[in-house]
């Protein structure tokens, strides 16, 4: 909360101006009934046209002034709200951009997106309403009551009664309605869920002939929503008529009681009418104040969620005294007794991992799902920091390198190929914006992407939609490989990045890569034995531990886990072939 | 958590609730427009028709409520007049009696009228016209005149009664409307859900499901909300305008003229404001969508952005968008906020005009104070529906645009109905024949051109081909998710098109890689194909599918609830559950999808064993990835680009040296050149 208040400090001066303007607006609004009673008392009852005319002119002047104040309030308030939201949004976004995967995963990206879009928007909206409307409430309320008191202290009780009744009705309504609002939200979510399942499972539903069952499920969700919605709407529908009734009854009561006051000469007729106006203004003021109670809880939830983001310090940052990488060890990666556990987890994902990958070598990682392969390679670009041990790049602990320098050395191809909005070219040179067109084309050729790019209407200028949804999975993967190639790093990390390619493309790509990555350090994570069979060093992982390290043939002999994986993918005959002739290894037909 | 709802339709980010304009204000956004407003309204009217009686009652209540609202100020004016009359009479009495010489009393029966007759003409002129009638009524013999408190109380009583009745009517009307609108939205949703069942799968294959989802929730909601608002507003506005105009004319045509002159002013200025602020609202929506898109993209590609040192660029783009959002946002809200002060000023202009002219008319005796006060209230009552007019038009547009999307869906062409005299198969043997099958997803392009094959009972058929070769096409045809264009598929000699779709589908068990499970218990998920299954049967099926072991290890076991995406169960385990589901349903024939690399090795062994057990003795179609499955198949169907290019056994296909042989050999060649 305090974090969020800090962003308001630059607007304190504006806020003071706003208060002055609101005061002016209140003054103008409260002045009008006085002029009206003048017109009645001294103009109409006393039959003086010139008084009517002059007071009328004054009234117009005050209205004009009031309008100017109101416009001023609106101007200052919207600028504060929009400006505040702008600062807040920027703070949240830049903070998240600095997050490592540790902080990122503790929120989930979907949640971070809502926090920096929806929640900020929510606060902007509520702040705007508060400044423009709710702030006026207390001023108007106090002012109207003072004015009314000055006019006829004996009748102020009518206002008090009205306000008490009004606020208690609002309070009762909202204590009943608020939990129902939540219920409505839950039922909408439920309806969404049922519909989504209905749509995504259409084939299965039809295969099992369960259409009626799903329709029935939908009907129940639909009916539940209808019932609660009807109740809530009927509840809220009482607001308007009740409010009207209270205002009307107050008017009648004031004129009625006012008649006796006039008869004893305690009041003039015009003042009774002015009193009615003040009563209406006081009621309106309390309505405005009650808006705060409706809006505040919504904003509080959003503020809390934003506060959580701002209170999270990124724990992977540049070292205070960065060390220089050792040029003699350029491209060397070395894991020294590395263990890693996710925050809060009692079981480590990786335990006592040691290996060295040198330039010109290919190091591969295999193991079943959950064995920690992807986690292992994500320690190199410091997506996470080790819990124990050291990861060295160019002979220096990655924690002692500047993040920018570290990332410059690594061409990372993730498991899920992510592209960004832009052109194919801008995506390929995402890592090196200054890359020459020739470099871009070369990278695309190596990545086996130039064929499909040349078939597109706009070639390299073809647009990529958000998330790269307008190209196929295989094309996305190839572009993501091209992006890493155009980056020209000394280390390549391929995290299961050939999975969406068909066999021929896969073979061609790896053939071309071989020449391109000569002399570089290459790390490959894979599921298929066929992909990594030829690696210089294969690291076999099982539940976070290294259970075997060596070349394919050695591992077949010595490593049970490796043999088990190989057996599940290659037939006995093929294993036999491999053992006897050392060739003709056929994996599962990855047709 | 109500985090990022995934139902945001990509087409209309503005409708997704995620990006509402800030402040909202009195201006409804008219960015969405219906293509066929009239047609859509007619269709919407069909949904209103069953409620005609209720709608009639709503109109009656609305009229009642509004009429009392209209009469109110008039009676309150009369009440004020009585106070003023009493005031003037006592003042006059006091003035006259004060002027009388001491000790002289007016004779009994002297009235104000008599007194005035005896007054000299010059004196009489000094008495204002509207006070003369008050004075003439004074009866001096009965002492100082009193206020007509009984009359005032009477009027107050009437007013209170009327206001209460008006409130009751107003509430009754909203009460009925709320239910009616909810019933209509309920019916719209029900019709959509019924429609989902009648549409061919081709519709959903070409349409992102988020699109349909947003019609079910967002669009129907928009229709309901705006319908409620606009119907009530239109009814009350019309009554209000007519009633108030009548009352105003009955008071004074001169004053009415002044009030009416002001109306176009406020109308024009509100339209002006709406028009100008809407441009900024639209800009705001667009920049907001762009900014949110950037945030979404950067957050979902966070690792790549970090790995390629993209922070700086990402933040500078964000700042640029954020700045332009700021500029558009405050302008939009500020401009729409101008509406209030402007209309208020114009309203006051009218008020002063009426007060000045009314004062003049009062002095000349054609109206009195109460009338002026009533009139002032009428002017403000009249302003309401008129400034709302622009809003109602927008609201109707919004409702029409949303309704149109709903009706478009409801009117999509449906699947051909099942034949009236459907055939069924009593004792299934499991022989499947493809006779010159031609099929294509689009009318002009056939992907299966002429396919013939005979599958004997109990045979195992492997479907092979590269990713995206359209292996699911065959599944679609067998299950009649799609129908063949020409030729036929027969089961035990019966054309599947002569059978009811449900009967065809009953013959097949389906285990796909895309494992669809619904949110519910594991038990219910396994029993999905056999509703009345006993617990023992479910456990038995799970055991047969090698799923019993991991299920018992889960918290709650068979009663564990799978959540929406079933993230609490691994992919391979989900596939075991779908095998158990097929086991329990015990279909005579099978369609299977072998696991690929996303499943870990140990689970894969289990899946394989379970599938083998399931296929035993059944005609099975397997989308195969494993060489052993392919080699062991009785028939291999080789697919490329959606077409079945070859079929035969492993040996015969190798001998024919076609696409299959190429693929098979390229594996060997690949292994040799593959040295990376």
Q: Which ranges in A238-372 belong to alpha helices (H)?
A: 239-263, 269-310
Q: How many CB atoms lie within 10 A of CB A390?
A: 16
Question: In Å, how far is A211's CA from the nearest CA of chain B?
Answer: 7
Rounded mean pLDDT, B466-481: 75
Task: Give the mutation candidate from B150, B193, B481 for the A interface (greatest A CB count, under 10 A).
Answer: B193
Residues A297 and A419 in one domain: no
Cα–Cα distance measured from residue A551 to residue B137, given in angstroms and rounded to the nearest whole number:
122
Most confident of A135-144, A394-403, B221-230, B546-555: A135-144
Total residue count of chain A as it appears in this document: 591
Question: In Å, how far is A49's CA from the nearest CA of chain B?
Answer: 6
Q: Which two tokens stand for residue B317?
A: 């783009």
Q: Please report the sign of the dihedral spanned by the C-alpha atoms of residue B611, residue B615, residue B619, residue B625.
A: positive
Using the Cβ of A7 and the Cβ atoms of chain B, whether some distance falls under 8 Å is answered with: no
Q: Is the pLDDT of residue A576 over 60?
A: no
Residues of A in contact with B570 (CB under 8 A): 369
Using the Cβ of A223 and the Cβ atoms of chain B, whether some distance falls under 8 Å is answered with: yes
Cα A31 versus chain centre, distance = 47
Residues of B in contact with A59 (CB under 8 A): 348, 351-352
> B241, B236, B278: which is closest to B259 by C-alpha?
B241
Using the Cβ of A165 and the Cβ atoms of chain B, whether some distance falls under 8 Å is answered with: no
Q: What is the enclosing helix (H) or strand (E) of A356?
A: strand A350-357
Q: Which two tokens stand for residue A270?
A: 């015009």
Q: Which two tokens stand for residue B123?
A: 């004196």
Q: Is A542 contained in some domain?
A: no
Q: Closest to A534 (Cβ–Cβ): which among B167, B519, B676?
A: B676
Enumerate the β-bridge partners of residue B432: B455, B491
Q: What angle do CA A163, A169, A170 make, to 5 degrees?
A: 90
Closest-approach residue (CA) in chain A for B157: A252
Q: Is A66 contained in some domain?
A: yes
Using the Cβ of A483 and the Cβ atoms of chain B, whether some distance falls under 8 Å is answered with: yes
Q: Is the pLDDT of residue B667 over 60?
A: no
What is the percentage of chain A residues whose pLDDT exceeds 90? 6
- pLDDT category of residue B122 using cuts at 50, 70 and 90: low
Residues A416 and A305 in one domain: no
Q: How far is CA B227 from CA B184, B232, B402, B515, in A?
A: 10, 8, 11, 41
Q: How far is CA A27 from CA A140, A163, A188, B348, B536, in A?
A: 8, 21, 46, 16, 80
Residues A304 and A427 in one domain: no
Q: Closest to B171 (Cβ–Cβ): which among A238, A535, A584?
A: A238
Q: Is A385 contained in some domain?
A: no
Q: Is A266 contained in some domain?
A: yes
Q: Which two tokens stand for residue B11?
A: 């087409």
Q: Is A553 contained in some domain?
A: no
Q: Which two tokens stand for residue A455?
A: 């078939």
Last residue of a domain, one of A465, A488, A511: A488
CB A546 within 8 A of CB A355: yes
Cβ distance B183 to A223 less than 8 Å, yes or no, reads no
Q: What's the whole-number average pLDDT of chain A?
A: 82
Q: How do residues B548-560 score in pLDDT, each as one tens digit?
A: 877 877 777 888 8
Residues of A in contact with B318 (CB under 8 A): 90, 93-94
Name the CA radius of gyration of chain B, rounded: 41
Q: B-contacting residues of A 290-329, CB under 8 Å? A: none
Residues of A in contact with B528 (CB under 8 A): 204, 208, 210
Task: Give the mutation candidate from B190, B203, B306, B663 for the A interface (greatest A CB count, under 10 A).
Answer: B306
Using the Cβ of A226 and the Cβ atoms of chain B, whether some distance falls under 8 Å is answered with: yes
pLDDT at A80: 92
Instruction: Look up residue A466 and give its DSSP letter.
Output: G
- A to B CB pairs, distance under 8 Å: 472
What is the percentage of chain B residues whose pLDDT exceeds 70? 81
Name the CA radius of gyration of chain A, rounded: 36
Cβ distance A63 to B23 less than 8 Å, yes or no, reads no
Rounded mean pLDDT, A263-270: 80
Last residue of a domain, one of A243, A276, A310: A310
Cβ distance B160 to A59 less than 8 Å, yes or no, reads no
Q: Is the pLDDT of residue A447 over 90?
A: no
Q: How do residues B353-398 score in pLDDT, each as one tens digit?
A: 887 788 778 777 777 777 887 888 888 788 777 767 767 777 777 7
Q: How do residues B244-264 score in pLDDT, each as one tens digit?
A: 888 888 888 888 888 888 777
Residues A427 and A280 in one domain: no
Residues of B in contact with A223 (CB under 8 A): 186
Q: Please report the sign of the dihedral spanned by the C-alpha atoms of residue B35, residue B38, residue B41, residue B46.
A: negative
Cα–Cα distance measured from residue A393 to residue A402, given in angstroms and rounded to the nearest whole number:
12
Last residue of a domain, one of A295, A310, A325: A310
Q: Is A56 contained in some domain?
A: yes
Q: Which two tokens stand for residue A127?
A: 């702040």
> A364, A361, A412, A355: which is closest to A530 by C-alpha?
A364
Q: Is A177 contained in some domain?
A: yes
pLDDT at A24: 92
pLDDT at B469: 59
Cβ distance A241 to B167 less than 8 Å, yes or no, reads yes
CB B383 within 8 A of CB B265: no
- pLDDT category of residue A76 using cuts at 50, 70 and 90: very high
A421: domain CATH number? 3.40.50.300
Q: Which two tokens stand for residue A110?
A: 């979907």
- Domain interval for residue A474: 411-488
CA dihedral B502, B506, B511, B512 (to 10 degrees): -20
pLDDT at B393: 74
Cα–Cα distance measured from residue A5 to residue A84, given in angstroms and rounded to the nearest whole number:
10
Q: Closest to B307 (Cβ–Cβ): which among A410, A467, A511?
A: A410
Task: Give the mutation candidate from B22, B82, B578 for the A interface (greatest A CB count, under 10 A).
Answer: B22
- pLDDT category of residue B468 using cuts at 50, 70 and 90: low
Closest-approach residue (CA) in chain B for A43: B359
> B471, B625, B665, B621: which is closest to A527 by C-alpha?
B625
Q: How do residues B178-234 score in pLDDT, each as one tens digit?
A: 889 899 999 999 998 888 888 888 888 777 677 777 777 778 888 888 887 777 778
Most confident of A469-478, B343-352, B400-409, B541-550: B400-409
Residues A257 and A117 in one domain: yes
Rounded mean pLDDT, A85-97: 90
Rounded mean pLDDT, A270-276: 83
**Helices A239-263 and B149-198, interaxial angle, to 10°?**
170
Domain count within chain A? 2
Task: Count Cα atoms within 13 angstroms, Cβ side, for A222.
Answer: 24
Cβ distance A82 to B329 less than 8 Å, yes or no, reads yes
Cα–Cα distance measured from residue A207 to residue B510, given in angstroms and rounded to the nearest whole number:
7
Most confident of A315-324, A448-457, A569-578, B181-190: B181-190
Q: How many CB atoms lie within 10 A of CB B233?
A: 19
Q: Is the pLDDT of residue A87 over 70?
A: yes
Q: What angle do CA B133, B138, B142 make, to 5 degrees?
A: 170
Q: Is the pLDDT of residue A581 over 50?
A: no
Residues A302 and A417 in one domain: no
Q: Which two tokens stand for residue A52?
A: 């009517």
Enumerate the β-bridge partners of residue B462: B622, B636
Q: Is A8 contained in some domain?
A: yes
Q: How do residues B2-49 score in pLDDT, each as one tens digit?
A: 333 333 333 333 333 333 333 333 334 444 566 778 888 888 888 888
Q: How do residues A528-566 score in pLDDT, each as one tens digit?
A: 677 777 788 888 887 788 888 888 778 777 877 777 777
A211: domain CATH number? 1.20.1560.10
Question: In Å, how far is B165's CA from the nearest CA of chain A?
Answer: 10
Residues A419 and A305 in one domain: no
Using the Cβ of A215 and the Cβ atoms of chain B, whether some distance falls under 8 Å is answered with: yes
Say whether A385 sits in a helix, a strand or coil.
coil
Question: In Å, how far is A145's CA from the nearest CA of chain B?
Answer: 22
Using the Cβ of A221 and the Cβ atoms of chain B, whether some distance falls under 8 Å is answered with: no
Cα–Cα distance measured from residue B173 to residue B221, given in angstroms and rounded to the nearest whole number:
21
Q: B-contacting residues of A 266-285, CB under 8 Å? A: 269, 272-273
Question: In Å, how far is A163's CA from the nearest CA of chain B?
Answer: 18
Q: How do residues B567-610 score in pLDDT, each as one tens digit?
A: 567 777 788 888 888 888 888 888 887 755 455 666 667 777 77
Cα–Cα distance measured from residue A446 to residue A455, given in angstroms and rounded to the nearest whole number:
17
Q: Which two tokens stand for residue B608?
A: 């394989």
Cα–Cα distance measured from residue B355 to residue B369, given in angstroms and rounded to the nearest whole number:
10
């Amino acid at each position: 909360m305090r974090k969020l208040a800090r962003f308001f400090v630059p607007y304190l001066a504006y806020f003071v101006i706003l208060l002055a303007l609101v005061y002016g607006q209140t003054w103008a609004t409260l002045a009008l009934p006085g002029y009206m009673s003048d017109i009645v008392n001294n103009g109409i009852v006393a039959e003086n046209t010139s008084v009517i005319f002059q007071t009328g002119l004054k009234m117009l002047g005050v209205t004009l002034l009031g309008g100017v104040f109101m416009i001023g309030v609106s101007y200052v308030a919207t600028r504060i709200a929009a400006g505040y939201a702008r600062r807040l949004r920027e703070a949240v976004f830049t903070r998240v951009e600095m997050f490592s995967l540790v902080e990122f995963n503790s929120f989930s990206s979907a949640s971070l997106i809502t926090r920096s879009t929806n929640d900020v928007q929510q606060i902007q909206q509520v702040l705007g309403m508060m400044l423009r409307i709710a702030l006026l409430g207390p001023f108007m309320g106090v002012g109207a009551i003072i004015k009314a008191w000055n006019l006829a202290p004996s009748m102020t009780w009518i206002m008090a009664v009205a306000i008490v009744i009004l606020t208690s009705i609002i309070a009762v309504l909202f204590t009943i309605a608020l939990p129902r609002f939540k219920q409505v939200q839950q039922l909408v979510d439920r309806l969404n869920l049922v519909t989504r399942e209905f749509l995504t499972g259409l084939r299965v539903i039809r295969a099992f002939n369960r259409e009626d069952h799903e329709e029935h499920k939908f009907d129940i969700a639909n009916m539940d929503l209808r019932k609660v919605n009807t109740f809530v709407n009927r509840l809220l529908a009482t607001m308007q008529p009740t409010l009207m009734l209270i205002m009307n009854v107050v008017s009648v009561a004031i004129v009625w009681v006012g008649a006796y006051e006039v008869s004893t000469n305690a009041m003039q007729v015009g003042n009774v009418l002015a009193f009615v106006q003040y009563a209406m203004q006081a009621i309106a003021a309390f309505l405005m104040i009650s808006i705060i109670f409706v809006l505040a809880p919504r904003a509080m939830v959003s503020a809390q969620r934003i506060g959580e983001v701002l209170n999270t310090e990124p724990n992977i940052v540049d070292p205070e005294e960065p060390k220089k990488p050792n040029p003699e060890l350029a491209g060397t990666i070395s894991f020294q007794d590395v263990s890693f556990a996710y925050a809060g987890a009692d079981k480590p994902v990786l335990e006592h991992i040691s290996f060295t990958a040198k330039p010109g070598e290919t190091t591969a990682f295999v193991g079943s799902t959950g064995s920690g392969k992807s986690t292992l390679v994500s320690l190199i670009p410091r997506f996470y920091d080790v819990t124990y041990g050291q990861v060295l790049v160019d002979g220096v602990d990655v924690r002692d390198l500047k993040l920018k320098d570290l990332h410059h050395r690594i061409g990372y191809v993730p498991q899920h190929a992510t592209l960004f909005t832009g052109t194919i070219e801008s995506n390929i040179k995402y890592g090196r914006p200054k890359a020459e067109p020739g470099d871009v084309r070369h990278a695309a050729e190596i990545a086996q992407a130039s064929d499909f790019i040349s078939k597109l209407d706009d070639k390299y200028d073809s647009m990529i939609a958000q998330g790269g949804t307008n190209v196929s999975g295989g094309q996305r993967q190839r572009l993501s490989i091209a992006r890493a190639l155009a980056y020209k790093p000394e280390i390549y990390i391929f995290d299961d990045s050939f999975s969406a390619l068909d066999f021929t493309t896969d073979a061609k790509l790896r053939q071309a890569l071989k020449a391109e990555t000569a002399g570089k350090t290459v790390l490959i994570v894979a599921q298929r034995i066929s992909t990594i069979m030829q690696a210089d060093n294969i690291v076999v992982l099982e539940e976070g531990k290294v259970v075997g390290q060596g070349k394919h043939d050695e591992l077949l002999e010595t490593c049970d886990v490796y043999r088990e994986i190989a057996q599940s993918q290659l037939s006995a005959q093929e294993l036999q072939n491999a053992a006897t002739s050392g060739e003709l290894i056929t994996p599962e037909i990855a047709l | 958590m109500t985090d990022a709802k995934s139902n945001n339709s990509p087409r209309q980010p503005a409708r997704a609730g995620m990006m509402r304009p800030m402040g909202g204000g009195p201006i409804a956004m008219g960015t969405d427009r219906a293509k066929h407003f009239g047609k859509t309204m007619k269709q919407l009217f069909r949904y209103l028709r069953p409620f005609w009686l209720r709608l009639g009652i709503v109109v009656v209540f609305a009229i009642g409520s509004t009429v009392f609202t209209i009469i109110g100020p008039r009676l309150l004016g009369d009440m004020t007049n009585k106070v003023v009359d009493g005031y003037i009479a006592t003042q006059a009495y006091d003035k006259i009696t004060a002027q009388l010489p001491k000790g002289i009393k007016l004779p009994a029966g002297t009235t104000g009228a008599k007194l005035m007759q005896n007054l000299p003409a010059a004196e009489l002129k000094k008495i204002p016209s509207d006070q003369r009638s008050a004075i003439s009524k004074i009866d001096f013999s009965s002492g100082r005149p009193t206020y007509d408190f009984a009359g005032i109380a009477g009027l107050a009583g009437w007013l209170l009664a009327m206001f209460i009745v008006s409130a009751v009517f107003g509430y009754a009307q909203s009460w009925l409307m709320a239910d009616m609108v909810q019933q209509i939205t309920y019916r719209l949703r029900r019709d959509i859900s019924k429609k989902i069942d009648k549409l061919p799968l081709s519709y959903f294959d070409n349409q992102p499901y988020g699109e349909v989802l947003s019609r079910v929730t967002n669009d129907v909601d928009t229709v309901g909300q705006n319908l409620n608002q606009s119907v009530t507003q239109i009814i009350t506005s019309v009554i209000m305008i007519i009633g108030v105009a009548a009352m105003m004319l009955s008071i004074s045509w001169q004053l009415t003229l002044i009030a009416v002159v002001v109306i176009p002013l406020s109308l024009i200025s509100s339209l002006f404001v709406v028009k100008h602020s809407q441009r900024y609202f639209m800009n705001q929506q667009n920049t907001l969508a762009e900014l949110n898109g950037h945030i979404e993209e950067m957050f979902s590609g966070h690792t790549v952005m970090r790995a390629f040192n993209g922070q700086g660029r990402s933040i500078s783009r964000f700042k640029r968008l954020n700045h332009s959002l700021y500029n558009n946002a405050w302008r939009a809200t500020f401009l729409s906020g101008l509406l209030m002060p402007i209309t208020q000023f114009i309203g006051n202009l009218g008020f002063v005009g009426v007060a000045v002219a009314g004062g003049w008319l009062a002095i000349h005796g054609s109206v009195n104070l109460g009338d002026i006060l009533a009139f002032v209230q009428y002017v403000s009552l009249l302003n309401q529906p008129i400034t709302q007019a622009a809003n109602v038009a927008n609201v109707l547009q919004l409702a029409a645009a949303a309704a149109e999307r709903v009706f478009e869906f409801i009117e999509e062409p449906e699947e051909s109905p099942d034949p009236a005299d459907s055939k069924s198969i009593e004792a299934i043997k499991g022989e499947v024949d493809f006779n010159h099958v031609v099929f294509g997803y689009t009318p002009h392009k056939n992907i299966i051109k002429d396919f013939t094959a005979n599958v004997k009972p109990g045979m195992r058929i492997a479907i092979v081909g590269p990713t995206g070769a359209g292996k699911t096409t065959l599944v679609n045809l067998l299950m009649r998710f799609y129908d063949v264009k020409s030729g036929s598929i027969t089961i035990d000699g019966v054309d599947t098109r002569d059978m009811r779709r449900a009967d065809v589908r009953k013959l097949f068990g389906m285990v796909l890689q895309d494992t669809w499970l619904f949110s519910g218990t594991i038990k219910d998920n396994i029993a999905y194909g056999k509703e009345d299954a006993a617990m023992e049967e479910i456990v038995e099926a799970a055991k047969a599918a090698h799923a019993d072991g991991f299920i018992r290890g889960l918290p709650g076991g068979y009663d564990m609830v799978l959540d929406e995406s079933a993230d609490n169960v691994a992919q391979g385990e989900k596939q075991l559950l779908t095998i158990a589901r097929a086991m329990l349903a015990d279909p005579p024939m099978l369609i299977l999808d072998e696991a690929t690399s996303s499943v870990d090795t140990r689970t894969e062994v289990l899946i394989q064993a379970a599938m083998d057990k399931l296929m035993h003795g059944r005609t099975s179609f397997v989308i195969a990835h494993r060489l052993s499955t392919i080699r062991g198949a009785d028939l291999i169907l080789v697919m490329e680009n959606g077409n079945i290019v070859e079929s035969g056994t492993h040996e015969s296909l190798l001998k024919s040296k076609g696409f299959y042989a190429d693929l098979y050999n390229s594996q060997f060649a690949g292994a040799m050149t593959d040295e990376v």
